[in-house]
Amino acid sequence: MSARDFTRAPFHIRYPREFDFEPKIVSIGPHFYNRTEFSEAMEKKKGEFTDYFLKTPAAFEGLVQRLKDSSDADNVKLQDKIYNWYGGKDKLAPVGWDKLLPMLLRDSFFIIRIIIYLSREANNMLSLGVNVKMVRFDLLLLENQIPLFFLKIVYDYLKNHKALLPITLTEQDSAPNSHETGNTQTASQTHSWCRCLCFKPTSLQQSTGEQTLLPHPDSEQNSSVHATSVQTENLDEFLKELRPFICLDMPWEFNEEHISQLPDHLLDLYWKWCLPSKLPSNTYLRNHRDHTFVRDISWVNIHLRSNADKRIPNACELSKKAGMTFVKRKHEKGFGVEFHKRKGILQLPHLKLDSSQTTLLVNLIAFEEFKPSEDRILTSFILLLDGLINTKKDAELLHSCGVITNKLSSIEMVSEFFNDMGNICKVDYNNHYCKDQFEDLNNYYQSKWSRHRAILQHEHFKSPWAAISMAAGTSLLIMAGLQTAYNIYGFYHHHQ
């Protein structure tokens, strides 16, 4: 039985929005295999970046052969892990293992070259011959992903062979290389790179036509504490290398508090680094493949719940009828939301909307669709914005407050985008990230005190002169009252 495919957008999200999930420049992984619309120039770049690290075709073929039958510490073959990651072998029927592995290797070298450029070379103005920002955008699409564990395998291999030293050279063909000409490597070299990859090396000597496995480097004589610390250190270094790539043009402040294990892919890492610091206690944030606990709630049931009486008034209504104020939240990691009930102030993270950002948001929402309701953090936040923004006037209000920066063609497109997102964002309204904000906003809107204060503010304090007149009248009334009280007190005191 095939595993669930977490690398394909759900049909009800993808069907009217295919354009948001398909890469525009570079195809990564098997989902867009043999698509003719992708330029040969970009495929040529993959070959150039592979040669940048390995230099010779023989070195590449040698690496392919050594990875082909590799298995991890639990004797799970690399082939099985990758097939399972993509939802099963039957999901990749047009692409056999003999084609899939070289494809993933070339894609990995391509991605690592982009990552290295952003983390080490961007300030040196070295040209890769590609539009890095547009390529990065394609590399964050849900259906254009490869396993991050495989990317780390290749990264650690290059690092172990001194191919990832700080690069200050001006010519790509002078890149560091530790491979000898041809595909011959000693057994110790093979064992070295397999140790770095955390995969068992296959013996170079074959007997009876079968390959035997050497002892795993992290065997019983090595303490588990040391192994764990090494893995943690390697993961931290790998994530540090990825940070400039992920955080480029990120609309929120980078937040690294929620990384406890290697994410599934680059989009998953982006999602985790966007999350707010304060999350509900029932939030799991596990990887998709750990979601054995996901409740059996069909999309139809969630859709029906989402249409329950849990909506909130739009921004203009909240401002005019309840006197609410919207402000941009500052110095907060991730897209956290906070409502100050006593002051009637809703703090929202800043969000810049352009064509790239809207597409990325759609992919993140599709990514969260595989998670339980309590883990759909961004979906809940977008639903909150959808409730606040119904019309052009609502979008203009949040734009004037600095919450939204509009880079789309018109302000109407902002309201249209969030209204469209409201149709695909589904949560259990009894259990989601912004549940408290939904309840508090509705309670505040229905409060008589809030409404009376809003009427006073909008009808009697429209201008500074009205406020001054009201203050003067109130002062005269107080003074008249004091004078009356003083006269009454004097009258009774005189007669006594």
Domain ranges of the chain: 11-204+224-248, 271-450, 461-495
Give CA separation, 93 vs 30, 33, 48, 392, 452, in Å. Answer: 10, 11, 28, 47, 66
DSSP state of 431: B
- Cβ neighbours, 10 Å, residue 235: 15
Q: How far apart are CA 29 and CA 99, in angstroms?
A: 11
Report the mean per-residue pLDDT for the chain. 76
Between 189 and 284, the higher pLDDT residue: 284
The overall longest dimension of the chain from CA atoms, in Å, is: 126
27: left (phi over 0), alpha (psi -120 to 50) or beta: beta
Between 430 and 110, the higher pLDDT residue: 110
Position 265, amino acid: H
Position 84, amino acid: N
**pLDDT of 250-292, one tens digit each?**
877 777 777 778 899 999 999 999 888 777 665 556 555 454 4
Closest CA to 194 of 176, 213, 179: 213
Between 401 and 235, the higher pLDDT residue: 401
Please report which confidence band the pLDDT of residue 143 belongs to, taking 50, 70 and 90 as the band edges.
Answer: very high
pLDDT greater than 80 at residue 301: no
Q: How far apart are CA 361 and CA 271, in angstroms?
A: 10
Q: In this structure, are residues 392 and 416 in contact, taking their beta carbons and an 8 Å threshold?
A: no
Q: How far apart are CA 182 and CA 65, in angstroms?
A: 14
Cα angle: 35, vertex 38, 39; to 5 degrees: 135
pLDDT greater than 90 at residue 461: no
Backbone angles phi, psi at 326, to 5 degrees: -110, 130
pLDDT greater than 50 at residue 449: yes
Q: How far apart are CA 74 and CA 373, in angstroms?
A: 32
Between 332 and 290, the higher pLDDT residue: 332
Q: How far apart are CA 248 and CA 3, in angstroms?
A: 33
| DSSP E strands, 266-334 | 325-329
* Predicted pLDDT at 165: 60
pLDDT greater than 80 at residue 164: no
Q: How far apart are CA 270 and CA 311, in angstroms?
A: 29
**pLDDT of 81-123, one tens digit each?**
999 999 888 888 778 889 999 999 999 999 999 999 998 877 7
Q: How far apart are CA 103 and CA 146, in angstroms?
A: 10
- In three-state secondary structure terms, 352 is strand
Token pair listed for 285? 């944030």
The helix or strand, by DSSP H or E, that contains position 347, with its residue range, turns out to be: strand 345-349
Mean pLDDT within 160-175: 50
Token pair listed for 472? 């003067």
Please give the share of the chain, as a percent, with pLDDT higher than 70. 69
Token pair listed for 385? 């914005």
Between 302 and 121, the higher pLDDT residue: 121
**pLDDT of 355-391, one tens digit each?**
999 999 999 999 999 999 889 999 999 999 999 999 9
Q: How far apart are CA 338 and CA 345, in angstroms?
A: 8
Position 375, amino acid: D
Position 408, amino acid: L
Q: How far is CA 195 from the centre of its chain?
A: 31
Cα angle: 129, vertex 130, 133; to 5 degrees: 140
Between 31 and 94, the higher pLDDT residue: 31
Q: How far apart are CA 457 and CA 142, in angstroms?
A: 47
* Predicted pLDDT at 181: 33
This prediction has a pTM of 0.77
Please report, to the nearest 10 degrees, the dihedral formed by the alpha carbons of residues 371, 373, 375, 376 taken in order: 90
Position 240, amino acid: K
Give CA separation, 242 vs 89, 228, 377, in Å. Answer: 29, 21, 23
Least confident segment among 125-129, 422-426, 447-451, 467-471: 447-451
Please report which confidence band the pLDDT of residue 438 belongs to, taking 50, 70 and 90 as the band edges.
Answer: very high
